[in-house]
Amino acid sequence: MARPVKVKLIECPRDAMQGVNYFISTADKIKYLNLLLKAGFDTLDFGSFVSPKAIPQLADTAEVLNNLDIGSSTTKLLAIVANLRGVDEALKHPSITYLGYPFSISEIFQKRNTNSNIKTSLSTVEELLSKCDKAQKTAVIYLSMAFGNPYGEEWNEELVVKWTSELVKRGASIISLSDTVGVSTPTNIANLFDGISTSFPEIEVGVHLHSRPENWREKIDAAYQNGCRRFDAAIRGFGGCPMASDSLTGNIATENLIGYLEENNEPLGLDMQSIEKAIRFSFKIFH
């Protein structure tokens, strides 16, 4: 009998695509996502209901969604939203399980990312949680700038715990600690993950880490060894934050993460043939 899968892998093609400076055709997005849906990931961060002016690449999210082969896939769909208009748009689609919202502990980044301040964003989170509850969907709150702040604003681990507490008080059940600009270190990953998962045992805590290609293993190891079992990644390490000063800082590569977890004898339940097909197709759309 196969061992039950304990690790949740969240594949993030939306994050990989959103920063590309040429438009990936809707047909290619559909084909790529359909390949990923066959791979056996827990969740697919597939698109975003945000202003087409803000992210033109994702203006076709609804059209893409309507053409996904979700019938035979066990993978759940996650859409990113940045405001209540986006929340309402995402809630119209029964096939979406998760709505992800980037809540930043940096005022500057919150303004840049969602055009609002922290206070307003906290109200948005409250509304999001309420609307998801009524629609029987689940919110995933990404805690942006969780591992450091490049803008000179205050940052410390106590501040991250404080904002996590505010989100949990309001009903957040899944929080992903996000290394928005690739400043995390094995030490602060270990300290933060251990501290937050211990302080809030009732919630699911994950990591969305960005890294230079040579530093991914030590970051994943720090999270895994401190109990993390929810990981975001993107095939071939594409994506990352456009505000990152280092162009080599991208997402953790899915194939690296899979290799690490297999070394640790984690049962992943993945269809590696489908993943290999997706990797091959990725060379067509990321160039």
Domain membership of residue 147 (yes or no) is yes
Domain membership of residue 66 (yes or no) is yes
pLDDT in tens, 212-257: 888 999 999 999 999 999 999 999 998 765 444 445 568 999 999 9
Type of residue found at 147: F
pLDDT in tens, 256-269: 999 999 999 999 99
How far CA 34 is from CA of 27, 37, 55, 57, 119, in Å, comes to 11, 5, 22, 18, 38
The answer to whether 37 and 70 have CB atoms below 8 angstroms apart is: yes
What is residue 117's predicted lDDT score, i.e. its pLDDT? 84
Domain containing 68 — which CATH number?
3.20.20.70
How far is residue 82's CA from residue 229's CA, in Å, rounded to a whole number? 26
Q: Looking at the chain, how many residues does it have?
A: 287
User: Containing domain of residue 202, as a range?
Assistant: 8-285
pLDDT in tens, 38-94: 999 999 999 999 988 889 999 999 999 999 999 889 999 999 999 999 999 999 999
Q: Residue 242 CA to chain centroid, in angstroms?
A: 15
Type of residue found at 41: F
Domain membership of residue 31 (yes or no) is yes
DSSP state of 234: B
Domain membership of residue 2 (yes or no) is no
Torsion (CA) 153, 119, 54, 182 in degrees, nearest 10: 30
How far is residue 125's CA from residue 101's CA, in Å, rounded to a whole number? 8
DSSP state of 102: E
Burial class (CB in 10 A: 0-12, 13-18, 19+), 205: buried
The answer to whether 260 and 239 have CB atoms below 8 angstroms apart is: no
Domain membership of residue 71 (yes or no) is yes
Domain membership of residue 3 (yes or no) is no
| Residue 283 token pair | 């060379």
CA atoms within 13 A on the CB side of 160: 27
pLDDT in tens, 87-100: 999 999 999 999 99
Domain membership of residue 27 (yes or no) is yes
Mean pLDDT, to the nearest integer, of 189-204?
A: 95
Q: Give SS3 for 116.
A: coil
Domain membership of residue 76 (yes or no) is yes
In this prediction the pTM is 0.94
Distance between start and end Cα atoms, the chain: 42
The answer to whether 129 and 172 have CB atoms below 8 angstroms apart is: yes
pLDDT in tens, 125-171: 999 999 999 999 999 999 998 998 888 888 889 999 999 999 999 99
How far is residue 247's CA from residue 97's CA, in Å, rounded to a whole number? 32
Domain count, the chain: 1
What is residue 240's predicted lDDT score, i.e. its pLDDT? 62
What is residue 47's predicted lDDT score, i.e. its pLDDT? 98
